[in-house]
Amino acid sequence: MTLPALGWQGLVVLATFGISLLIATYCTYAERVIAAFLQDRVGPDRAGPFGLLQPLADAVKLFTKEEFFPAGANRALFVFGPSLAMVTALMSSAVIPFGNFLQFGDTVIHLQGIEINVGMLYVFGMVSLGVYGIMIGGWASNNKFSLLGAIRAASQNISYELAMGLALIAVLMMSGTLSLREITLQQSVAGEWHYWNIVKQPLGFVIFIVCAFAETNRTPFDLPECETELIGGYHTEYSSMKMGLYLFAEYINVFVASAVMSVLYFGGFNFPFQYELRDWFVSSRGLELVTAQNIITILGLVGLFAKIFGFIFFFMWVRWTLPRFRYDQLMRLGWTILIPLAIFNILLTGGLITFGVIK
C-alpha cells in the first residue's frame, strides 16, 4: 500500500470516527423522539426546527455541569472508567466495511477503517473490553449501587457473549472467514442467485440480536443501569461529561451492534440487483465500469446505513415496549435457553453444510 493510499485510509478512519460520534449524538435525540411517539407524546421540539439542535443543548448542559467526585472514590479510576468505555466503543467501529471501494484512477479507497482478517474477533474483543469501562467506573465510585450495577454488567456480558459467539460460529462455518469484508462479499456474488445470511441463519440471527441487546445493556436487559432498583447502576455517581461519555458509549455500542448485524446477517453494503444495476449503467447509460461501480458503492453505503438505522430504530422500539427482565430470568434465558439453542444451531448448520443444503 502506497503512502497516498494510506492517507486515504486514514481519512476513512477519521470519517468512521466522526460518523460514529454523530450517530451517537443524534441517537439521543432519536431515542427521545421515538419514545415520545410510541407513548403518544410530542418529544423535544424546542431547540431548533423539530428540536434538531437538542443534542447540542444537551452537550452544553453536560459540559457545564459540576464535575463531581464522590467521597472515597478512586479518582484516577473514576476518570478512567468512562474513558475506557468510550475508547473501546469507538474503536470497535474501525473494522466495519461501510462500503465496497471507490476507484479514482489508480487510487482505490476501501470504505472501511482497517481490513484485518480477524475483523469479527476484533469487534468481540473490543466489546468485551468495553465492560471493563463499566466495571472500573462502578468500582471506583465507592457506591453500593454502582458496584451492583457493575457486577451485573460483567456477569451479563459474560453470559451473553457465550451465546453470541456460538451464534456467530454458525455464520463462520458457512463463510470460512472472520473478515467482515469477506463475509459481506460472500453474501452477494455476481452472476449467481444469492441470499443474505438471514435466510440461512434465522435462528442464529434471533440469538445474535437478543445477545446484542444484552451486550449493549439495552432494555429489556438494562439491568446494569436499572434506575428503579439501582438508581443509575454503574453511573449513579457520575455527572457532567463523564456521565455523557457513558451514555455516548452506549449509543455507539448500539450503532456498532447494528452495523455488525447488518454486515453478518443482512448483506452489509450489498443490495438486491446491484450487479444488474451496474451493468445497466454501463450498457444503457454508457458509463465506464469504474464510474458505475463507484455509483453502486455509494448506493451500497446508503443501503448499509439504512439497514443500520433500521436496527437502531428497532433497538429503541424494543426499549419503549418491553419491561426489564428480572435478574434470574435474565440468567436463565442466557444459560438455559440461548446457549443450548446456539449449540443446536451449530449442529443444524453443520448438518446442512454436510448434506450440501447450504454452503
* Site for another protein, rule CB under 8 A: 34, 36-42, 45, 206, 317-318, 320-322, 333
**d(Cα 300, Cα 129) in Å, to the nearest integer?**
31
Minimal distance in Å, beta carbon 321 to another protein? Answer: 4
C-beta of 39 vs 354, nearer to another protein: 39
Phi, psi of 98 (to 5 degrees): -80, -20
Minimal distance in Å, beta carbon 314 to another protein? Answer: 9
Torsion over CA: 19, 20, 22, 28 (sign): positive
C-beta of 27 vs 33, nearer to another protein: 33
Pairing relationship of beta strands 97-104 and 107-112 according to DSSP bridges? antiparallel
- Are 101 and 111 spatial neighbours (Cβ–Cβ below 8 Å)? yes
**d(Cα 23, Cα 57) in Å, to the nearest integer?**
16
In degrees to the nearest 10, what's the CA dihedral of 255, 201, 153, 37? 50
Minimal distance in Å, beta carbon 114 to another protein? Answer: 36
Q: Which is nearest to 109 in space by CA: 94, 99, 120?
A: 99
Number of Cα atoms under 13 Å in the Cβ half of residue 228 = 7
Minimal distance in Å, beta carbon 11 to another protein? Answer: 38
Minimal distance in Å, beta carbon 76 to another protein? Answer: 42
Which contacts qualify for 342-345: CB closer than 8 Å, 24 or more apart? 342/163, 342/166, 342/167, 342/169, 342/170, 342/204, 342/207, 343/166, 344/203, 345/166, 345/167, 345/170, 345/201, 345/203, 345/204, 345/207
Minimal distance in Å, beta carbon 341 to another protein? Answer: 10
C-beta of 98 vs 213, nearer to another protein: 213
Minimal distance in Å, beta carbon 337 to another protein? Answer: 8
* H or E element, residue 85: helix 75-91
Q: Which is nearest to 186 in space by CA: 343, 358, 24?
A: 358
C-beta of 17 vs 320, nearer to another protein: 320
- Are 262 and 268 spatial neighbours (Cβ–Cβ below 8 Å)? yes
Minimal distance in Å, beta carbon 102 to another protein? Answer: 37
Q: Which is nearest to 168 in space by CA: 357, 351, 349?
A: 349
